[in-house]
Structure 1
Amino acid sequence: MNTIKIERQLQMRNQMREREVALEIAKSRELFFWYSAFYLTSVAWVITSYRYKRKPIYFAPLVPLSFVLAYQADLAYGNKLHRIIVEAEHILQFESDLLALPLGVPTASSIDLKRQQNDEQKSYTPCCLQFR
């Protein structure tokens, strides 16, 4: 019975993770549309300004905007998410020391101790200072 319960919890967590990832991809795609509209408006403005003034300095803002748009396009429609997953797997396999928590994983006793300290701290402070 416990095995089935654990398997169901794992399946539920995996489905929730998949939904969160899908939501993040959808957000990236929506943001890409906004960046694209801004970029195209900027390009139109730059071309118009260049036609009238003939100064190539007007093309300067397009360089950083091109990088931003390319990054967002790669994130939304490219394989950037796949590269991120591969890098995360590499970190988990070969650089797991970077993932260690300071002072290790919290234990039940350390959580209880901190809770007791917080309760004691509340009892020492006046009631008007507790709600700040």
Structure 2
Amino acid sequence: MGFLLSKSMDQNLKKQQEFMLLNARVQMERQILMQNEMRERQMAMQIAWSREFIKYYGTFFGLAALGLTVGAVKRRKPGLFVPVVPLSMILAYQLDMAYGTLIHRMRDEAESIMVSEADRLSLPHGTPTFEGIEKVRRAKYHLPPLPEK
């Protein structure tokens, strides 16, 4: 009788562990999907910001370039035209960010860094652990330390 009860409890325990594992997996997949969704939204906002910035900066650049060119020609001082060079570089960068391939090049470079220069990416004091975070939390709120394993 005890053997049958023990066998039934073992089966229930295994089913419960499998369920918990499946549940943890589904929860992690949801977390990954949510984080990716947030990352995509942030990137879309950055690109949208760049496109909106281009409208205002492009207008400023056009007026400034026209005014500086007219001033340089009228006064016969080519030095007045010099500010157009750095302003045009800023415009080119923003255009590349908003409509060009800058995002793709940045992603490729980031992947290259992750492969060939992974040591540059390590956090000071390493990756946070549950125990480390819990120790800080308990110290902050004056809670007793966790029991040893």
Bin for the TM-score computed over the shorter chain: 0.7 to 0.9
* Residue among 40, 59, 70 paired with 1:37: 59
Residue 69 of structure 1 aligns to which amino acid in structure 2? L
| 2:82 is aligned with 1:55 | no
Moved more, 62-71 or 102-111: 102-111
Write the distance in 2 (CA, Å) between the matches of 1:107 and 1:7: 20
* Residue in structure 2 matched with residue 107 of structure 1 by the alignment: 129
Q: Please give the TM-score of this superposition, normalised by the length of structure 1.
A: 0.81
Greater relative contact order (CA < 8 Å, ≥ 6 in sequence): 1
* Residue in structure 1 matched with residue 42 of structure 2 by the alignment: 20
* Residue among 80, 85, 90 paired with 1:68: 90
Q: Tell me, which stretches of 5 or more residues in structure 2 are unaligned?
A: 1-21, 143-149
Q: Tell me, which stretches of 5 or more residues in structure 1 are unaligned?
A: 121-132
The Cα of 1:116 is off from its aligned counterpart by: 4.0
* Residue in structure 1 matched with residue 104 of structure 2 by the alignment: 82
Write the distance in 2 (CA, Å) between the matches of 1:101 and 1:68: 32
Q: Please give the TM-score of this superposition, normalised by the length of structure 2.
A: 0.72
Secondary structure at 2:123 match in 1: coil
| 2:33 is aligned with 1:11 | yes
Moved more, 1-10 or 22-31: 1-10
Write the distance in 2 (CA, Å) between the matches of 1:27 and 1:44: 25
Secondary structure at 1:101 match in 2: coil
Name the count of aligned residue pairs. Answer: 120
Secondary structure at 2:38 match in 1: helix
Look at both structures and tell me which one has the larger radius of gyration over its CA atoms.
2
* Residue in structure 1 matched with residue 113 of structure 2 by the alignment: 91
Sequence identity of aligned pairs in percent? 43
Write the distance in 2 (CA, Å) between the matches of 1:6 and 1:103: 25
The Cα of 1:74 is off from its aligned counterpart by: 0.8
Write the distance in 1 (CA, Å) between the matches of 2:134 and 2:41: 34
